Amino acid sequence: MFRKLTFALLALTLLLAACAPAVATPSQATEIPATEASSLFPPTPETENISITDGLGRQVILAEPAQKVVSLAPSNTEILFAIGAGGQTVGRDMFSDYPAEALSLPDIGGSMGEYNLEAIVALQPDLVLAAEINPTELVKSLEDLGLTVFYLANPTSLEEMYDNLGIVAQLTGRETEAAALVESLKARVAAVDEKIIPLSSRFSVFYEIDASNPSQPWTAGKGTFITLLIERAGGYNIAAELDAYPQLSIEQIVADDPMFIILGDAMWGVTVESVGQRPGWENLAAVQNGNIFPFDDNLASRPGPRLVDGLEELAKILRPELFE
């Protein structure tokens, strides 16, 4: 029995050897030209990850440009639409009202800092775009739910705003559109600078944010976009040396006697006529000379591309003769 099994195995081995392809010796081997080899074995394409450090110093990595983005701030929504990524935006906070197309997107909340996390998760975004108005606790909560969050820090200059446009463009694959937008914005700012920079004088400005208490209205101070734009537009903010968003007493305003009053709270019903009727305001130079102007505060408070609109509007208010 053992001899029969051995014979069978030997026969099978010989049969397999006969059927096997011949192996060429080194002298017999045919060399395949490099060009043919590359066509036979094309290289596997390598996809580069998108890796960017966000405003919290975290490295945020995307395998590819985000196609479903949820925006947590009006400025971010405006940036996304401005660079051509509006079609990739699937949700927005309740205050995002520009452009008009944004209003058709699902509202994920934001009142008093409360966002609907379940609604955000249900949208299945591959990127959630947060802003500096969003607390870091919100970022962590979203990440704990398995979402990728990029925290876009506020710019401190128009130049840094351009950088933010580029960052969002990288995250969404809209670099070409963003580059064209930035060039356009730079040209518009340069046109304002050309007229304003040579001026030797600056007009004093009081920018009003909230006059719920007319004897102590809120304004914008040091480090705000409002101060930045007023100064670049040829003015001087009388609250420029005060931190953030202070209240000024009527005594302080009278002492500074601003030449212009800009009503950033016009959207809340404050009118030019009502300012002149406030006790103690009637003798201000701005009131006497009729230099009180309503202004769309969104153009100065949202750190997106419309900051350039705000600069142009303020420059035309302060120096209309240069833009006739």
Task: Give the Cα separation of 252 and 255 in Å (integer).
Answer: 5
The answer to whether residues 58 and 171 belong to one domain is yes
Of 167, 188, 209, the one marking the end of a domain is 188
Confidence of residue 47 (pLDDT cuts 50, 70, 90): low
| Mean of the per-residue pLDDT values of the chain | 88
Query: Is 62 a domain residue?
Result: yes
Nearest partner of 318 among 240, 203, 201, 197, judged by Cα:
203
Residue range 254-272: mean pLDDT, rounded: 97
Strand partners of residue 208: 219, 263
Q: Which of 160, 188, 216 is the endpoint of a domain?
A: 188
What band does 48 get if pLDDT is binned at 50, 70 and 90?
confident
Q: Is residue 26 part of a domain?
A: no
CB 231 within 8 Å of CB 192: no
Residues 113 and 178 grouped into a single domain: yes
- 171 and 216 assigned to the same domain: no
What was the pLDDT predicted at 62? 98
> In this structure, are residues 89 and 184 in contact, taking their beta carbons and an 8 Å threshold?
no
DSSP 8-state class, residue 82: H
pLDDT at 88: 98
Pair 168, 234 in one domain: no
- Calculate mean pLDDT across residues 244-271: 97
CATH code assigned at 310: 3.40.50.1980
In this prediction, residue 148 carries a pLDDT of 98
Residue 183 lies in a domain: yes
Mark 178-207 as b/e (b = at least 16 C-beta within 10 Å): beebbeebeeebeebeeebeeeeebbbbbb
Task: Flag whether pLDDT at 236 surpasses 70.
Answer: yes
User: Are residue 113 and residue 226 in the same domain, yes or no?
Assistant: no
- Conformation bin of residue 84: beta by default, left when phi > 0, alpha when psi is -120 to 50: left
Cα 300 to Cα 2, 177, 226, 248: the distances in Å are: 96, 23, 5, 20
171 and 290, same domain (yes or no): no
pLDDT band at 253 (very low <50, low <70, confident <90, very high): very high
pLDDT in tens, 187-199: 999 999 999 999 9
Domain count, the chain: 2
Q: Reply yes or no on whether the pLDDT at 23 is more than 50.
A: no
pLDDT the model gives residue 113: 87
Range of the structural domain that residue 64 is part of: 51-188
Whether residue 136 contacts residue 58, with contact meaning beta carbons closer than 8 Å, is answered with: no
pLDDT of 40 strictly over 80: no
Q: Are residues 210 and 179 in the same domain?
A: no
pLDDT of residue 292: 98
Q: Are 160 and 76 in the same domain?
A: yes
pLDDT at 155 over 90: yes
- Shared-domain flag, residues 181 and 203: no
At 46, list the tokens.
């390598």
Q: Bigger pLDDT: 45 or 318? A: 318
Angle at 254 between CA 251 and CA 260, to 5 degrees: 140
Q: Which of 1-15, 106-120, 235-249 has the lowest mean pLDDT?
A: 1-15
**In terms of residues, how long is the chain?**
324
| Alpha carbons 158 and 305: distance in angstroms, whole number | 9
- Does 15 reside within a domain? no
Residue 49 has pLDDT above 90, yes or no: yes
Residues 140, 206 within the same domain: no
Taking the C-alpha atoms of residue 162 and residue 70, their distance in angstroms, rounded to an integer, is 21
| Of 171, 159, 227, the residue nearest 53 (C-alpha) | 171
- In one-letter notation, the amino acid at residue 251 is E
- Is 240 among the domain residues? yes
pLDDT digits (tens, 9 = 90+) for 102-139: 999 999 999 988 999 999 999 999 999 999 999 999 99
Among candidate residues 188, 220, 255, the one where a domain is terminated: 188
Residue 313, pLDDT score: 98
Separation CA 226–CA 297 (nearest Å) = 9
Asked if residue 215 and residue 156 are part of one domain, the reply reads no
C-alpha–C-alpha distance, residues 208 and 269, integer Å:
13
Is 292 a member of any domain?
A: yes
Average the pLDDT over 160-174 and give the result: 98
Average pLDDT over residues 217-234: 97
Q: Is there a domain that residue 233 lies in?
A: yes
Residues 151 and 235 in one domain: no
Structural domain includes residue 120 = yes
